[in-house]
Chain A
Amino acid sequence: MDSAPVLEVRNLHTHFFLRRGVVKAVDGVTFSLKRGEVLGLVGESGCGKSLTALSILRLLPQEAARTVEGQVLLDGEDLLAKSAGEMRQVRGQRIAMILQDPQTSLNPVFSIGNQLHEALARRLDEGGRSLRERAVDVLRQVRLAAPEQRIGQYPHELSGGMKQRVVGAIAISCAPEVMIADEPTTALDVTIQLQYLDLLKELQTSLGMGILFITHDFGVVAHMCDRVAVMYAGRIVETGPVREIFDNPVHPYTQALIASVPKLRRKAGRLRAIDGQPPALSDLPAGCRFADRCPHAEARCRERYPKAVSVGESHTASCWLAA
Chain B
Amino acid sequence: MSKDPILEVNGLTKHYPVAKGILFSREVGRVRAVDGIDFSIAEGETLGLVGESGCGKTTTSRLVLGLEPPTAGEVLLEGVSAQDLTGRDRQDYHAKVQAVFQDPWSSLNPRMHVGEIVGESLRISKWGTRAEIEERVAALLVEVGLRPEHARQYPHEFSGGQRQRIALASALAIGPKLIVLDEPVSALDVSIRAQMMNLLKDVQEQDNVAYLLVAHDLATVRHMSEWTAVMYLGEIVEYAPTELLFENVRHPYTRALFSAVLPDHPDGREEEIVLTGEVPSPLDPPGGCRFHTRCPFAMDICSQVAPTLTESESGHLAACHLEE
A contact residues vs B (CB 8 Å cutoff): 44-45, 145, 159, 161-162, 189-195, 197, 216-220, 222-223, 242-243, 246-247, 256-257, 260-265, 267-268, 270-275, 277
B65 to A: closest C-beta gap in Å: 23
B14 at the interface (CB under 8 A from A): no
B220 at the interface (CB under 8 A from A): yes
Interface pair B190/A223, CB less than 8 Å apart: no
A214 to B: closest C-beta gap in Å: 14
Interface pair A256/B191, CB less than 8 Å apart: yes
Q: Taking CB as reference atom, which chain A residue is nearest B187? A: A45
Interface pair A44/B190, CB less than 8 Å apart: yes
Q: Which residues of A contact B52 (CB under 8 A)?
A: 189-192
Interface pair A191/B219, CB less than 8 Å apart: no
Interface pair B194/A271, CB less than 8 Å apart: yes
A305 to B: closest C-beta gap in Å: 20
Which residues in window 274-313 of B have CB below 8 A to A? 274-279
Interface pair A243/B267, CB less than 8 Å apart: yes
Q: Which residues of B contact A193 (CB under 8 A)?
A: 260, 262
Partner among B195, B264, B269 whose Cβ is within 8 Å of the Cβ of A218? B264
A90 to B: closest C-beta gap in Å: 32
Q: Which residues of A contact B276 (CB under 8 A)?
A: 195
Interface pair B265/A246, CB less than 8 Å apart: yes
Partner among A189, A271, A272 whose Cβ is within 8 Å of the Cβ of B223? A271
B163 at the interface (CB under 8 A from A): no
Q: Taking CB as reference atom, which chain B residue is nearest A45? A: B189
Interface pair A190/B194, CB less than 8 Å apart: no
Q: Which residues of A contact B266 (CB under 8 A)?
A: 222-223, 242-243, 246
Q: Please measure, in the bound complex, the distance between the C-alpha atom of A300 and the C-alpha atom of B223, giving whole angstroms.
A: 37
Q: Please measure, in the bound complex, the distance between the C-alpha atom of A194 and the C-alpha atom of B218, giving whole angstroms.
A: 15
Q: Please measure, in the bound complex, the distance between the C-alpha atom of A256 and the C-alpha atom of B192, giving whole angstroms.
A: 11
Which residues in window 129-188 of B have CB below 8 A to A? 159-161
B53 at the interface (CB under 8 A from A): yes
Taking each of A217, A243, A264, A265, which has the highest tally of chain B beta carbons within 10 Å of its own beta carbon?
A: A264
Interface pair A264/B219, CB less than 8 Å apart: yes
Q: Which residues of A contact B219 (CB under 8 A)?
A: 261-264
Interface pair B194/A264, CB less than 8 Å apart: no
Q: Please measure, in the bound complex, the distance between the C-alpha atom of A218 and the C-alpha atom of B57, giving whole angstroms.
A: 26
